[in-house]
Amino acid sequence: MPRRTGRIVSQPNRYLSLIETQVVIPDDGVEDPLSYKQAMNDVDKNQWVKAMDLEIESMYFNSVWELVDLPEGVKPIGCKWIYKRKRDSTGKVQTFKARLVAKGYTQREGFDYEETFSPVAILKSIRIFLSIATFYDYEIWQMDVKNAFLNGNLEESIFMSQPEGFITQGQEQKVCKQN
């Protein structure tokens, strides 16, 4: 229905600030591999192999699993490699990351596990902590624990297939039992 006043309808100025604050991140058009096969056919294959070697090395260093025969009646969960090129503020590739993840979504509640959660801090707790530190003028430091998730304890026995590209010769039928 047209307006009787003939006034032109326009967007409020508050929407203009959203347009002005767009951030343009340089993109070289190279996408991260979505599978092991893609990584092995990628131009940066050698970098991905190094990244996967580092990931497997940290798994062995932290005794994440041991190779065992699959118990009867147990179905192992699969695993997948996740690849990511880490870039700096200019868009230049700094590092290549490869993470091995278990396909936990194939598990069934009540059969393979009882409950799941990630040990993360509650935002309210962080705010209280920062308030106390500010009140007492404490100095706050931040740190990153590499592979922190590897330090958790599992209640259940989890059996995972061996990672693609790292299947142990002569033990192809064995699976990784998570520690």
Q: What is the pLDDT along the chain (179 residues), one digit of tens a residue?
A: 556 777 777 767 666 665 555 555 556 678 899 999 999 999 999 999 999 999 999 888 888 889 999 999 888 888 999 999 999 888 889 999 999 988 876 555 555 555 555 567 889 999 999 999 999 999 998 877 666 656 666 667 788 999 999 999 999 999 999 87
CB burial class (10 A; 0-12, 13-18, 19+) of residue 119? exposed
pTM of the model: 0.64
Kindly report the number of other CB atoms within 10 A of residue 109's CB atom.
9
Domain locations along the chain: 25-143+153-178
Stated as kind and residue range, the H or E segment containing 26 is: none
**Within 10 Å of residue 165's Cβ, how many Cβ atoms?**
17
The encoded tokens of residue 48 equal 């991905």
